[in-house]
């Protein structure tokens, strides 16, 4: 549970103080009951902290605004980079977003979570900017050869009857998590994220890195639920492959 | 029969809890028999967890400082707090209280407060028994449908918005009011209506709000 809710956004570069007992690592953390695993990776977030923060912002609490910036700035920058050409431009878009937030905060009606609202402002600004620069980001998951050419796992790894011919090698249960403590794996995932097609990157950033709900992501990116699912699936599958290549490779020390 | 290859394409929907029952069962049966696919699923979960642990980059200090300066210029120190209207402060307090487990505390406190107020006023007017009866019916009429809706949502593992529960509570409470019009002897005095009927409605709404904030429903 600790890895899901609030912890998601807390920078996890510090090592965990009490590592999980190695005896039952996978079952100890998530897994309420079989079939309930759905919750993993898709915990809703708004709620208490969000409302309290909003209340403080409306009362002019400076620390609340600082909290908001610290919490979302990095994520906003990452998302802006999906749309615009370079980092300088992305930073401008994020600053524009914060300006719009400052001005619009009092009028914010709370129909979406605060976070969704902010991310939506960013997406609008970034898209406008991208169009001005002559770039377009296609959010269509369909109508291209991509679907055929990018299955979740390379077709060569299956036998003609659909069973594994080259099955995945088990990772040490917590490998990626333990490896996250090392700079190189963070860089590896960052690079893999950058390599994803824009639409997939936007979806997986919002869903799995920032922990938003699928409905929120559809709202932010203005894409359909089906489209979101396809993009999310492809992105996750591709990222697993990247990790597999790294983790599965002979360990260098 | 589900193949390994098909499973790798269904895994995201499975983890998201979106597979229709039939496919979910087929997938779970396959997992039960296929160690490779169990490995695959574990890797997928680990990947998702790793993504969730990507460090969050704080803003560069100059950017942060510029934004904070902007905030300060819009919210002059000393002016902001006193200027905030009382209603806004109350709203903020409720918003803050309504979050998380505190929702229950807030609902409980409000309930106790309303109960105490109702009791003392009722005793004064010499109709405590009658007043409390109306109060109780109002609360029940609001709380019962809200709790039923909550349980329903829980059993279907869907989420509820506070608005849904609140409106159910309000609707129930209003139905109670209409029902009571016929039977309530005190309904004609404003004091009685405000204290017992509106008080009951308010408590029911707060309980509903608290219920919607329960972790299991979120």
Q: Transcribe chain B into DSSP letters.
A: ---HHHHHHHHHHHHTT-S-HHHHHHHHHHHHH-HHHHHHHHHHHHHHHHHHTPPPPPPPHHHHHHHHHHHHHHS-TTTHHHHS-HHHHHHHHHHHHTSTTHHHHHHHHHHHHHHHHHHHHHHHTT-HHHHHHHHHHHHHHHHHHHHHHHHHHHHTT----HHHHHHHHHHHHHHHHHHHHHH-TTTTSHHHIIIIIIHHHHHHHHHHHHHHTSGGG-
The per-residue pLDDT for B83 is 42
Rounded to whole angstroms, how far apart are CA atoms B151 and B177?
24
The span from the first CA to the last CA of chain B, in angstroms, equals 35
Q: Do B70 and A99 touch (CB under 8 A)?
A: yes
Do B104 and B45 lie in a common domain? Answer: no
Q: Do A38 and B17 touch (CB under 8 A)?
A: yes
List per-residue pLDDT tens for chain A, 253 residues long.
334 333 333 333 333 334 334 333 333 333 333 332 222 233 344 456 677 788 888 888 888 899 899 999 999 999 999 999 899 999 999 999 999 999 888 888 777 888 999 999 999 999 999 888 888 777 765 545 455 457 899 989 999 999 999 999 888 755 666 767 678 888 899 999 999 999 999 999 999 999 999 999 999 999 999 999 999 999 999 999 998 988 775 444 4
The per-residue pLDDT for A241 is 93
What global pTM score does this model have? 0.61
The per-residue pLDDT for B142 is 74
In this structure, CATH architecture of domain A146-248: Orthogonal Bundle (1.10)
The per-residue pLDDT for A1 is 38
Do B99 and B197 lie in a common domain? Answer: yes
Distance from CA of A80 to the nearest CA of B (A): 14
Q: Are A248 and A172 in contact (CB under 8 A)?
A: no
The per-residue pLDDT for B22 is 94
What's the total number of domains in chain B?
A: 2
The per-residue pLDDT for B182 is 65
A interface test, pick of B47, B95, B214 with most A CB neighbours within 10 Å: B47
B66 CA to centre of own chain: 37
Query: How far from A133 is each of A85, A91, B93, B101, B211, CA to CA, in Å?
Result: 8, 15, 45, 48, 49
Q: Where are the domains of chain A?
A: 47-132, 146-248
Do B37 and B113 lie in a common domain? Answer: no
Rounded to whole angstroms, how far apart are CA atoms B136 and B112?
13
Please return the burial class of B39, using the count of CB atoms within 10 Å of its CB with bins 0-12, 13-18 and 19+.
middle
The per-residue pLDDT for A253 is 42
Do B42 and B117 lie in a common domain? Answer: no
Rounded to whole angstroms, how far apart are CA atoms A138 and A124?
14
Q: Are A184 and A243 in contact (CB under 8 A)?
A: no
Residue B153 pLDDT grade (very low, low, confident, very high; cuts 50, 70, 90):
low
Please return the burial class of A236, using the count of CB atoms within 10 Å of its CB with bins 0-12, 13-18 and 19+.
buried
Geometric angle at alpha carbon B13, from A122 and A165, rounded to 5°: 120
Q: Decide if B72 touches A, using CB distance below 8 A.
A: yes
Do B157 and B207 lie in a common domain? Answer: yes
More confident residue, B68 or B139: B68
B interface test, pick of A47, A115, A156, A184 with most B CB neighbours within 10 Å: A47
Q: Decide if B13 touches A, using CB distance below 8 A.
A: yes
Residue B108 pLDDT grade (very low, low, confident, very high; cuts 50, 70, 90):
low
The per-residue pLDDT for A51 is 72
Do B98 and B161 lie in a common domain? Answer: yes
Q: Decide if A229 touches B, using CB distance below 8 A.
A: yes
The per-residue pLDDT for B213 is 66
**Is position B71 within any domain?**
no
| Nearest CB to B55 within list A11, A99, A161 | A11
* 75-114 in chain A: CB under 8 A from chain B: 75, 77, 91, 95, 98-99, 102
Q: Are A41 and B48 in contact (CB under 8 A)?
A: yes
Looking at this predicted complex, what is its ipTM? 0.75
Does pLDDT of B125 surpass 60?
no
Q: Are A125 and A220 in contact (CB under 8 A)?
A: no
Rounded to whole angstroms, how far apart are CA atoms B5 and A240?
15
**Is position B135 within any domain?**
yes
Does pLDDT of B69 surpass 80?
yes
**Is position B186 within any domain?**
yes
Rounded to whole angstroms, how far apart are CA atoms B153 and A75?
32
Domain A47-132, CATH among 3.40.50.300, 2.30.110.10, 2.60.40.10, 1.10.1740.10: 1.10.1740.10
Do B32 and B109 lie in a common domain? Answer: no
More confident residue, B124 or B211: B211
**Is position B25 within any domain?**
yes
Average pLDDT over residues B34-59: 91
Do B164 and B104 lie in a common domain? Answer: yes
Do B41 and B97 lie in a common domain? Answer: no
Do B8 and B98 lie in a common domain? Answer: no
- A99 backbone φψ class: left, alpha, beta (φ>0; ψ -120 to 50): alpha
Structural domain range at position B22: 4-52
Do B105 and B188 lie in a common domain? Answer: yes
The per-residue pLDDT for A14 is 38
Do B122 and B43 lie in a common domain? Answer: no
Task: Give B163-195 pLDDT, tens digit per residue.
Answer: 666 777 777 777 776 766 666 665 557 777 777
């Amino acid at each position: 549970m600790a890895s899901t809710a609030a912890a998601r956004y807390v920078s996890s570069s510090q090592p965990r103080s009490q590592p999980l007992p190695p005896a039952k690592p996978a079952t100890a953390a998530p897994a309420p009951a079989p079939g309930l695993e759905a919750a993993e990776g898709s915990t809703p977030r708004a709620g208490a902290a969000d409302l309290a923060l909003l209340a403080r912002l409306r009362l002019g609490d400076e620390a609340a605004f600082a909290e908001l910036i610290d919490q979302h700035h990095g994520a906003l920058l990452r998302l802006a980079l999906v749309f615009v050409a370079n980092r300088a431009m992305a930073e401008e878009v994020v600053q524009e977003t914060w300006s719009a937030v400052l001005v619009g905060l009092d009028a914010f009606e709370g129909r979406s979570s605060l976070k969704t609202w902010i991310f939506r402002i960013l997406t609008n600004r970034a898209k406008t900017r991208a169009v001005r620069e002559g770039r377009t980001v296609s959010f269509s998951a369909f109508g291209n050869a991509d679907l055929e050419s990018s299955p979740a796992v390379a077709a060569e790894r299956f036998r003609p009857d659909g069973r594994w011919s080259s099955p995945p090698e088990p990772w040490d249960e917590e490998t990626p998590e333990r490896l996250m403590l090392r700079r190189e794996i963070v860089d590896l995932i960052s690079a893999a994220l950058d390599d994803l097609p824009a639409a997939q990157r936007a979806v997986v950033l919002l869903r799995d890195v920032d922990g938003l709900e699928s409905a929120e992501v559809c709202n932010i990116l203005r894409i359909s639920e089906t489209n979101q699912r396809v993009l999310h699936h492809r992105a996750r599958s591709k990222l697993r492959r990247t990790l597999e290549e790294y983790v599965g490779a002979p360990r260098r020390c | 029969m589900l193949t390994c290859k098909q499973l790798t394409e269904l895994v995201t929907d499975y983890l998201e809890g979106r597979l229709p029952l039939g496919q979910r069962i087929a997938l779970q049966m396959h997992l039960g028999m296929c160690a490779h696919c169990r490995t695959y699923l574990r890797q997928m979960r680990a990947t998702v967890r790793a993504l969730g642990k990507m460090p969050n980059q704080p803003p560069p200090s100059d950017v942060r400082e510029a934004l904070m300066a902007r905030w300060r210029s819009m919210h002059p120190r000393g002016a902001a707090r006193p200027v905030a209207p009382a209603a806004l402060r109350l709203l903020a307090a409720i918003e803050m209280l309504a979050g998380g487990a505190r929702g229950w505390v807030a609902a409980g406190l409000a309930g106790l407060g309303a109960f105490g107020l109702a009791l003392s006023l009722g005793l004064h007017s010499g109709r405590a028994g009658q007043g409390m009866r109306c109060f109780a019916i109002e609360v029940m009429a609001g709380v019962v449908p809200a709790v039923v809706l909550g349980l329903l949502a829980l059993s279907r593992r869907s989420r509820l918005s506070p608005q849904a529960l609140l409106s159910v509570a309000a609707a129930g409470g209003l139905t109670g009011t209409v029902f009571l019009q016929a039977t309530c002897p005190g309904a004609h005095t404003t004091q009685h209506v405000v204290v017992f009927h509106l008080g009951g409605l308010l408590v029911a709404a707060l309980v509903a709000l608290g219920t919607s904030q329960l972790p299991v429903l979120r």
